[in-house]
Structure 1
């Protein structure tokens, strides 16, 4: 019988010297489960390990790899210390332990709480365990939420990152102290805006002087910061200035609770209405004095453009600059709407700047869509399928080879771990030597499993694209007589659009449309 061992630890382990190391708890789980398997003469197929993950996290890399391997019946048994190490969600207990595992002919065993799908009458105990674990998750989530809400109401700063201009007080948890280097920049931004400078102009002034933006400032000072997703991360941008000018933390008020979790089962957040934000006055030293703050807020209100609720640009967050990959901003001049890249205006030589009238982009999209529809409907169905799938099939085959290579190497390391353990049992190597060698094997094996899983995700994405070919005719025929775009259409049809700058000779603007079909 081939057995897959699964281990998990949710809490940060102080015994770990490096993040890449296994915690002591994980090592203990592995040793116990390996011994349990050896005593029953089960062959260890693989050891799957998730360190620093909760039992409600469905994105655990080793957990998902185990499920994928179980589906392909690469082993016969899943072995855990307890059922809660596998999952704390009753939904997943029912889905996998009670439904899919039996279909896949996989036996589930947990040592401490005696869960075993091969034992008759054991199912109710497993369901009770699952229900208790589910209650535990919900209660823990509510308790944590309650504690954090109480701390916020008391004015304590709750968050991984301090706002630019401040840093966390090393002597008082939940308290902010002024970062004077950044605070000087904050004061200058408020002053410049009060003197009539626009937000883009202020960003350009800071960039021309080589002042690092908030993320780069924190990185240079070895402070915690959120990794940006876009390019040119060292530049000040319009939105950074805009957000700064209306943040009450700069006048000493702690404003938190702007976002809340959708459910304890997901990490996704949703915006909270402004009237429900938690605001506590005078929790820390202000950077901006009240008079300057009031002047700036008045100017912000005066410059704010009227906004009709329910309206949004048809290309909002869809149009990107071809040269710097930033989302283009909407602007209006003489009753005409345009899309432009702000990067050009915030720093010298940062970007040549994409620019296009919204009407021109709309006509280009409609024209390209009509062309696709005409070509598609003129083709034979089989020809369409072959044309669409040919390139994707090549990519899929390449990924398939890569996955097989990674999995073979990972399997070799798993066998090496098993051989090491047998050598330790036989006294050929010592306990310390086993831990030293096996740690290196585990690290490399888990790295290979991770890259294999990433390749599988790419393969699955290709599969979805290939399967979507069946729905292309229905999608395209829906827009056969299109004359005007609206927001709903662009969301459904377009992933994103790259826009360039008009060629002075041809007068054409380069446009690259990435469709959703």
Structure 2
């Protein structure tokens, strides 16, 4: 029997606990008691339930872990009813809530009950949820927007009073766990000072990163990791040997006004209530509070250092060319995306990590022509098409005979099963007429039943194997059709790349590796076939 899903949510940010967090009516414990009692009192509901709790998550969006798990369970049939205290527990976005109640949940066959709103979706089968329910949801949405405005106003008051409301302080500072004040990290602070000193001397970002690497100064990310701090701040896929200072790190440090002892808050804001998408705030909305914590550099030093790099052109890492492999080409050594340098007919790519870190990186410093990369990819795709064609032909020959054998075997097993059914009836009749004893009948019945179960399991296995082979054959045929269709253009297209290529790793112009995006079954088949050809 399927179960009920009890959904509980609480968020101080939404004002769910009221003034001074004293309203217990919305507490998790209160919601739990209310919902469990409701389930136990209803004869039309199963006594079994699964509890989903999002404690501390806003209802203005649906990016909540327990909520998403509940919807997945609804899709897979683990629950058939969702019960909440009121609509605001389910969500405060009235459009989103309406979509779930009128479209998503009915399609999934899920009954939805909101206790305080006296709403049961079974009462609205074939109808919309009604004006009163829509108004409830709209009020929840407007309430969230009002709470959001109040929270923002409260935050701005804290910012102006010099209170830090963010997470981690910038590299070079530590946060006092008791008071929340920023303290200068005795080691990292020296590294930050070193960067500013080199900029004041007139060094550009490349020269500064070169100097830091030459002195074997750990990057902010490496330093944080080595000192047990939770925020690493670097690409975890990058080899340890390639975690080096680069221009971007230097530029980021020189651009932090916080190193003068000021707090800079409100630099970004969400585009809508509950949205995780943010945009840069207008200058007038950024709150700067000076002389809050110890300074690593003076304001004058900060301005001089910043002016040194102010007019340096930032590198264009992407280019404007319609490059079919854009976003797919990475350095084989450091795994960073390679930069496209446009130069007409001879466009080339290079590793930005190597360019920014110089001799300290083990990446190749040569620029590789786009035409060479595309040539490697084209050859690899043609080879894959050839292999898939061969697999398809070989598979057709083998499975045709095998299917015939399986079908014949299934018919034999079904015939044997029918004989056993008749035998089981005959044994019962013999027992009923007193020809055989009950003990002998029970023993014979058990033997026949065991054999019939074995036959059924064997039939299911043969049927499953045939279905799996059919699905596999369909995958191969679809891949062949896709490749043949796209490769008729005689060029690498974006559509072809998106359908077949995961990553292209460039070590140098002679060593280029292509990772395909086919599923595991196809990739294993391709690798197995190629291995067999080599061994032969």
Normalized against structure 1, the TM-score is what? 0.64
Structure 2 unaligned runs (5+)? 14-25, 397-474, 520-536
Q: Classify 1:80/1:156 alpha carbon distance in 2 versus 1 (closer, same or farther; 3 Å).
A: same
1:179 aligns with 2:185: yes
Deviation at 1:158, TM superposition (A): 3.8
Q: Tell me if structure 2 keeps the 8 A contact 1:157–1:176.
A: no
Name the structure 1 match of 2:298: 289
* Aligned counterpart in structure 1 of residue 273 of structure 2, from 264, 286, 295: 264
**Among candidates 75, 81, 85, match of residue 77 of structure 1:** 81
How far off is 1:160 after superposition?
Answer: 1.0
Residue 225 (structure 1) aligned to one of 231, 246, 263:
231
Q: 1:76 to 1:240 in 2, by over 3 A?
A: same
- Deviation sequence 1:341-397 (CA, Å, 0-9, x none): 52697599x863144424x234322552476379759988x959x99xxxxxxxxxx
Relative to structure 1, the CA distance from residue 341 to residue 84 in structure 2 (aligned partners, 3 Å threshold; closer, same or farther) is: same
Q: Is the 8 A contact 1:341 1:354 kept in 2?
A: no
1:213 aligns with 2:189: no
Q: 1:219 touches 1:225 (CA, 8 Å); kept in 2?
A: yes
1:363 aligns with 2:372: yes
Task: State which of 315, 330, 334 in structure 2 corresponds to 1:320.
Answer: 330
Residues 1:109 and 2:113 aligned together? yes
Is 1:230–1:326's contact at 8 Å kept on the other side of the alignment?
no
Whole-Å separation in 2 of the counterparts to 1:468 and 1:50: 45
C-alpha spacing 1:472/1:160, structure 2 compared with 1 (3 Å): farther
Residues in 2 aligned to 1:61 and 1:471: alpha-carbon distance in whole angstroms: 39
Distance 1:152 1:489 in 2: 51
Instruction: Work out whether 1:163 is the aligned partner of 2:155.
Output: no
- Write the distance in 2 (CA, Å) between the matches of 1:338 and 1:105: 52
Residue deviations 1:235-280, cap 9 Å, x none?
443121121123222234444444322322421223456x566263
CA deviation vs aligned residue, 1:27-71 (integer Å, no higher than 9, x gap): 443343223212224331422233332223423233223223333
Aligned to 1:340: 351
- Conserved in 1, the CA contact under 8 Å of 2:159 and 2:289? no
Q: Which residue of 1 aligns with 2:135?
A: 128
3-state DSSP of counterpart to 1:77: strand
Q: Name 1:280's counterpart in structure 2.
A: 288
Aligned equivalent of 1:58: 62
The answer to whether the 8 A contact 2:172-2:192 is kept is: yes
Q: Give me the whole-angstrom Cα distance separating, in 2, the residues matched to 1:52 and 1:467.
A: 47
Q: Give the paired residue count.
A: 418
Post-superposition CA distance 1:387-437 (Å, at most 9, x none):
9xxxxxxxxxxxxxxxxxxxxxxxxxxxxxxxxxxxxxxxxxxxxxxxxxx
Partner of 2:438: none
Deviation of 1:339 (Å): 0.8
1:88 deviates by 2.0
Q: CA deviation at 1:499?
A: 1.6
Q: How does 1:34-45 map to 2 (within 5 A)?
A: 34-41=36-43, 42-45=46-49
Q: Verify the 8 A CA contact 1:329 1:342 in the aligned structure 2.
A: no
Q: Does 1:246 align with 2:247?
A: no
Alignment partners' CA distance in 2, 1:151 and 1:84: 28
Is 1:89–1:130's contact at 8 Å kept on the other side of the alignment?
yes
Question: CA contact under 8 A between 2:328 and 2:503: conserved in structure 1?
Answer: yes
Alpha-carbon distance in structure 2 between the residues aligned to 1:246 and 1:312: 31
Cα drift, residue 134 of structure 1: 1.4
Whole-Å Cα distance in 2 between the matches of residues 91 and 468 of structure 1? 42
RCO comparison, higher one (Cα < 8 Å, 6+): 1
Residues 354 and 365 of structure 2 are in contact (CA less than 8 Å); yes or no, is this contact kept in structure 1? no
Between the aligned partners of 1:62 and 1:308, the Cα distance in structure 2 is: 39
Change (3 A) 1:237 1:330: farther
Do the aligned residues in 2 keep the contact of 1:322 with 1:354 (CA within 8 Å)? no
Q: Report deviation, 1:328.
A: 3.9
Give 1:189 shift: 1.3
Q: Is the 2:213–2:245 Cα contact (8 Å) retained in structure 1?
A: no
Hey, what's the Cα distance between the residues in 2 that align with 1:80 and 1:309?
48
- CA 1:482–1:225 in structure 2 vs 1: closer, same or farther (change >3 Å)? same
CA RMSD of aligned residues (A): 4.9
Instruction: Report the TM-score, using the length of structure 2 for normalisation.
Output: 0.62
Shift of 1:188: 0.9
CA contact (8 A) 1:215 1:225 kept: yes
Question: Compared with structure 1, are the counterparts of its residues 478 and 137 closer, same or farther at alpha carbon in structure 2 (3 Å cutoff)?
Answer: farther
**Going by fraction, where is helix more abundant, 1 or 2?**
2
- State which structure, 1 or 2, has the greater radius of gyration over its C-alpha atoms: 2
* Gap regions ≥5 residues in structure 1: 13-23, 388-465, 503-507
Q: CA separation in 2, counterparts of 1:306 and 1:205?
A: 20
Matches within 5 A, 1:425-504: 473=482, 477=486, 480-482=489-491, 496-501=503-508
